[in-house]
Amino acid sequence: MHTSSLRRTQRRRRGAVLALPALAAAGALTLAACSPSGAASPSSSPYGNAAPSPSTASAPAGSGTALAVRSTSLGTILTDGRGFTLYGFDADKGTMSNCSGACAAAWPPDTTTSTDPQAGSGVTQSLVGQTTRADGTTQLTYAGRPLYLFKGDSALGSTNGDGSTAFGARWDALTASGEDASGGS
């Protein structure tokens, strides 16, 4: 009886060891499905011209420079303090944001925790403002427009979101004067 009990235990262990690669493969598939590379292709994406990238999530500006300008193919445009392009959304009414939920996931609001956000060289400090979002966070505004980043901009100065009409209205990179950089309406 002891021998048969020992054999059953060995078979169970062998079965468990053989199941490990299958579990590892299932875990890898789950992770791949949840990663940005598993995201929808740009042609079927609601994000406009490019698939989302996790590297551009908006971080609070803190005590550093909140806004700056950068030279791009669109000319000199407004960026956050790190150098990522900032966009205006034509669906916004005044300083009130009309981008939340899935929209805010694709177009993260440029938020701040500073009560006095600083403008870098080339940015007009008097055009810098703030608005309180429905979730209670403070979003930066420029020339009276709420500011957003775009998840599809994976590099500093990328302007992949310019001209997109995702979420029902046009998105435009902004100039240092607060105008649409590409002349959109």
* Unique residue bearing structure tokens 């020339």: 143
Q: Are 46 and 102 in contact (CB under 8 A)?
A: yes
pLDDT of residue 100: 97
> Does position 18 have pLDDT exceeding 50, yes or no?
no
> Does position 52 have pLDDT exceeding 70, yes or no?
no
Banded model confidence at residue 68, pLDDT cuts 50, 70, 90: very high
Banded model confidence at residue 64, pLDDT cuts 50, 70, 90: low
Count the Cβ atoms, other than its own, within 10 Å of residue 1: 5
**CA 52 to centroid of chain Cα atoms:** 7
Do strands 75-80 and 65-72 pair parallel, antiparallel, or not at all (unpaired)? antiparallel
pLDDT of residue 61: 37
Query: Over the chain, what is the mean pLDDT?
Result: 77
Domain ranges (residues) in the chain: 2-34, 54-173
Amino acid occupying residue 130: Q
